Structure formats: C-alpha cells, structure tokens
Structure 1
C-alpha cells in the first residue's frame, strides 16, 4: 500500500522518474511483476529477455524495451547487464503503444536516457525538464519494433510445440513430427502459428533460435558452440541467419557493442 501511494502522489510532482541503476550478473531473473507507470528499460551492456503472457522479447545491445503500465512481465539477464530504467506517468503516454515492444536506441536517445537517470526525475513545471520530456516523447512516438520478438500461440496444440522448442531450441524434428506429437496435422499447426503469432512456423522457429543464440553469446559462449546449441546444421548457416537479422556477424555485433 505505501508503495502505491508513493507512485500516486509522485504523479502530481513528477512526470518521469528513474529506477535505481543496478548491475546484474548473468542468469539473474527479475520475477514477474507490473508497474502503475509506463516503463522504458535499456541495457547499456548485456542482453535482456522480457517475458509477458503474450510472448517474449529478446532485447539485444543498443535496444530498449517499452512496457506499458500494468503489463505483467519478468526480465532475465544474459551476460553482465547494466540496466537503466525510465518510468513515465500514464497520462504522458496515451498515444504510445499499449503493448510491449523492443525498440532501437539511437545514440541521441541513449544519451537522453543517461541524462534523465542523472537527474533522477523530471517535472514539466521546470522548463529544462519539460524540454527533455518533449524530446523523449518525440523519440518514443517514432520507435520501431525490433525483429527479435517471439509471440506465443494460444491454442493448446501449438502451445505444446512452442513449449517443446523453447525447452530445447536445438530440437531438429520436422514440423510433421512435432505436429503428430501435439495431436494435430501439419497444416493445422501452420495455420495456428500464422493466425495466432503473425509468423509462419519456420520464421517463428528461427526467431526462437536467434533469441536463444543472443543469450548464449552474451554469456560468453563461442560462436561454434552456439550455432549447434540452437539447432543449426553448420556454422555458416547460423552466421548467415544472424547477419540477415542483425546486419552483422556475431563477432562483429558484439565487438561493435
């Protein structure tokens, strides 16, 4: 109860607040919770996986995640993670997305986040603060969804297949075999994944593998090991898929970060 009053009264005085500036070790999990304010989470180091009942968002380096107020979510860290968090009072974000999404963090937005963290809070009654709030909202209004998103199907049969592959991303069984084990036809499963996740099964499986690969690479695993651990037949096939999604090879990606 006191925590809720703290947020409620702060909403009159401040419109943007920051969280603590924690450093997390590889594998740390922030358990499922929600916030009364919108949340923008940015990892200046490491990789985060944000999970909600609707799906998972793998947040690689130079990305952030937008979590609307009231969204139940958990965060898993891969590699050493330096977390920076902004909270926005809901009335500021009425025209912003009402579902979580991963966004690209430009150098300007990164510096803006770090500056707000230094200030601790922003009030639109303070002219310099009002300007920073305006710039922040401008950036958030044009934010783009990132490719590393794994929406989850709702149908029980498709959910069984999704759970099997999440538990073992290297599972090489064909869709026909997976469908039989889930009690459905290949055609039915293909339709369920497309209608309920917006992704064809092949694309969904690739997203799962690449998201898991990011977590392993951030934790320090070798590219060769990761390629086979996530189910690719060859290192070259893995590097090609990685480059197609992220624009760089795994080595280039983490060196640049």
Structure 2
C-alpha cells in the first residue's frame, strides 16, 4: 500500500500492514498515537521523533520502533517512509520505549516488497510469507544510541528543548542553574534523576544528534564542528565516534564533501 491512511486499513484482520508514504519537506505529524506497534523506516531524508520522555533522531536507512499507544510526533525532513503497523499480540517482544535500529539489507528489500502488497493480502501466499519473515528480521535488529532522554520537569524540559535547537558543547551547567534558580549540585541531581544522564553526558549526546541532523542536511564535518563549538574537526570526530560508534563522514549527504 502506498499513501494510504492507516485509519482506512487498521481494522483489517492482518498481523502486519505495510504502508509507503511520501511526505513534503519539513512536514510535521503532530502528536498522535496508534493502536498497533509501529516500525517507521525512512528510505530517504531524516526523521525526528518526540515523545513525553525523549527524542529520537532517525537518519536515512535506519528505523524507529514505536510501541503501541505511545503519543508521539514526527518531523519529516525530506522523507519517504516505509511503515509497518503490527498487532501487539504478534510482537510480544516489542520494546516498551521507542528505539532507533539499524536496517539490514535483507529487511530493506523485504520492506520494498511489503509496501507493494494488497491491504488484505492472502494469508498463505507470497505476501504473507514476506510479512512473516519481516517479523523475524525485526527481532534481530541492532539498537543504535540515537535517543536523547527528556525530563518531565517542565522548566528543565523547556531548557533542554531550547538547547537542542542551538547546542553548544561548552555551555556551562552554571548558566542553566542560574536560569532555574538552583545550585549546580541540585541541578545535576535533578538531571540524573529525570534523564538517567549527567548534564555533561546529556549535553554531549545532544550535540552528537544535532550533528547528525546537520550532516544529513549537507553540512561538512568542519562546519558542524565549528557550529557546535569545537576547536578542531578532530576533537569533534572523537566525541562523535564515542557517542554514536561511527565516524561523522558516514552520515554525510551523498555527494557532500567530507571536509
């Protein structure tokens, strides 16, 4: 199925529904939720997913697992998606929290076949076999550290979202503490309690994920390093590898210069 609203087919008696959708640039799917579990794969572009407890950056050829009944919004940046909607009982192993995953070459080809299937595909034909194999492949996907936990505390959350828009690797904890009228020690305790990370670690993760967005938009490694406040591209690359497990050049837009 392509460019079909989920509401039109959600009630079908099929464990797996596959829908391919093309979105205009910078299209925002405002907060909503699904009855089914969702596997959201961007064949192109980049997606930014937000829920009550965090954000997930999803570059091209990766995917995000979204549990059923999870309120979320998605910013689509030049994205063509291949989504799977799965009956919860058919995927009891599905995570309770969103998760970005790598997409294997086999799964990529299976998704291409799946979105061409009829909505009510025969239960014992080729399309049903493709959907069953997809379910097995989903269980084997490797998670990626492309999530950024967000606090529930409204004032701290507002500062975190503001920082995500304009991150600076040198932004001191003291500046945040002053704005929140807290001591640095109290703020660090609050940060760890609300996100599971220290302020310094959260700041570094936020910078790495913002870098992925900039690289996907066509920025060079040198330009990204400067935008985040790093003195040299080498220092930025060390941080990026530590946070993501990959070199920044791997996220460059095809055809973009690495320097």
List per-residue Cα deviations over 1:57-112 (Å, max 9, x = no partner): 0012331001122222111133x322111111222123311221111111112112
Which sections of structure 1, spanning at least 5 residues, go unmatched? none
- Specify the alignment match of 1:150 in structure 2: 148
- Give the Cα separation in 2 of the matches to 1:214 and 1:230: 12
Deviation at 1:212, TM superposition (A): 1.3
Larger deviation, residues 164-173 vs 31-40: 164-173
- Give the Cα separation in 2 of the matches to 1:192 and 1:122: 50
- Specify the alignment match of 2:104 in structure 1: 106
Of Structure 1 and Structure 2, which has the larger fraction of its residues in helix? 1
**2:49 equivalent to 1:50:** yes
- Specify the alignment match of 1:239 in structure 2: 237
- Specify the alignment match of 1:28 in structure 2: 27
- Specify the alignment match of 2:204 in structure 1: 206
- Give the Cα separation in 2 of the matches to 1:111 and 1:6: 23
- Give the Cα separation in 2 of the matches to 1:5 and 1:55: 30
Deviation at 1:166, TM superposition (A): 2.2
Alignment of 1:154-173 (within 5 A): 154-170=152-168, 172-173=170-171
Deviation at 1:243, TM superposition (A): 2.8
Deviation at 1:225, TM superposition (A): 2.3
Which sections of structure 2, spanning at least 5 residues, go unmatched? none
Larger deviation, residues 193-202 vs 64-73: 193-202
List per-residue Cα deviations over 1:112-157 (Å, max 9, x = no partner): 2222112244758325444333322222223343111111012345
- Specify the alignment match of 2:248 in structure 1: 250
TM-score (norm 2): 0.84
- Specify the alignment match of 1:16 in structure 2: 16
- Specify the alignment match of 1:7 in structure 2: 10
Question: Any idea what SS the aligned residue of 1:20 has?
Answer: strand
The alignment covers a number of residue pairs equal to 251
Alignment of 1:167-182 (within 5 A): 167-170=165-168, 172-182=170-180
Contact 1:109–1:136 at 8 Å: present in 2 too? Answer: yes
